[in-house]
Amino acid sequence: MANCYLTENIKSRLDKGNVVGAVFIDLKKAFDTVNHNILLNKLTIFNFSEHAIGWFASYLEHREQRVKINTELSTPLQSTMGIPQGSILGPLLFSLYINDLPTCFQSANCQMYADDTVIYASARTPIVVAETLTKEMEGISQWLKDNHLTLNVKKTVSMCFSIRGKAKCTIKIDQEAIEEVEEFKFLGIILDSQLKFNKHINKLCKTVRTNLNCFRMIRYHIPVKPALLFFHAMILSHLSYCVTVWGQASQTTVKPIISLYKRALKIMDQKPIMWHHCLIVQKYNLLNFDSFIKFSFLKLTFKCANNLAPAVLCPFVTKINTRRVATRRAVGGNCIAEGRKTTFSQSCFSVIGTHFWNDLPTEIKTQTELKTFNRKVKYWLKENQICGH
């Protein structure tokens, strides 16, 4: 959802003829350098009670660490900073610690997900974008010093998004230029400067192809039920991750994934490469690739339309208000999305998801429970799958 929100905002700005510059922030040992006193002071700002703050202080204090080499142990030393990693409270406390980072921005947008932060701004030219972000980086530098955090300049990169070809914007922090890249892996998705997602899909194909080779070797030695389990765990799990983001790519770009999906079905059913995959889909009551994409988009669209998604993502998709517009579309539960001018921007989640949503029967669109909606949508998609051969 974080990636979906980011691409939605970038495409919205590109649709208006702007260039979007982004800086992907990387912090040095972010969890290990959290200052306990600053963290506890910030908890008071969030109106935590004295007893709760005392409990957090007790949780953080009197922790020791030591190093073991072979059988030798070092003398224990008290840890006076940092948050225990691998804990449930770790990400929560760190999120509270950096929650006020966006307050140091004036003209840029900031999106945070744990210790992954991206700052982006848009303008008509790359030069203006670079100037804006360079100025904003001054505020970040001061905020990091005040909060005892350190920027990893070598891993912090910038990217310039444009639909008018490659654009460059040189952004600096503390008089040092930030490396500019054409692609960057953000929360598991490889973003490229033109949001074509071809690099990510190539990597996804490589991963799925490797798993398919393993699947082919073991399939003759396992029954159907474990084979279906492998198919869902080792193939579909990779395809479903952020599918509402990379699924915005063109049909030409997605074509290799479709071929691998069909090949996985044939391996699972132990059929030759020329076998008709639609028969396998019907046999195992599965979704074909088009239905798989539609289901993923529809599920997220349902969450946005019913305010079950994060609050920042919900405004991109809203149901037509029946109180104001008593039309057949409004009563039928149709949704509206922000208008887009360019074909490129119309490939964003909100437009695709709304298009799929409005094609659903009224009975499904008016559901309010996610489990019931998912069940009915899957059944409807399977009933309406069209054989392309």
Q: What is the pLDDT of residues 77-116, one digit of tens each?
A: 888 888 888 888 888 899 999 999 988 888 899 999 878 8
**Other CB atoms within 10 Å distance of the CB of residue 175:** 6
| Residues 6 or more apart whose Cβ sits within 8 Å of residue 321 | 330
Banded pLDDT at 328 (limits 50, 70, 90):
low
What pTM value is reported for the model? 0.86
Question: How is the chain split into domains, by residue range?
Answer: 1-29+112-192, 36-80, 198-286, 292-384
Across 180-193, average pLDDT: 92
Pair of tokens at residue 30: 């972010």
With H, G, I as helix, E, B as strand and everything else as coil, classify residue 311: coil
Give 140-152 pLDDT, tens digit per residue: 989 999 999 988 8
Residue 297 CA to residue 313 CA, distance in Å, equals 13
Among candidates 272, 250, 264, 267, which has minimal Cα distance to 352? 250
283: which strand partners?
none
Banded pLDDT at 39 (limits 50, 70, 90):
very high
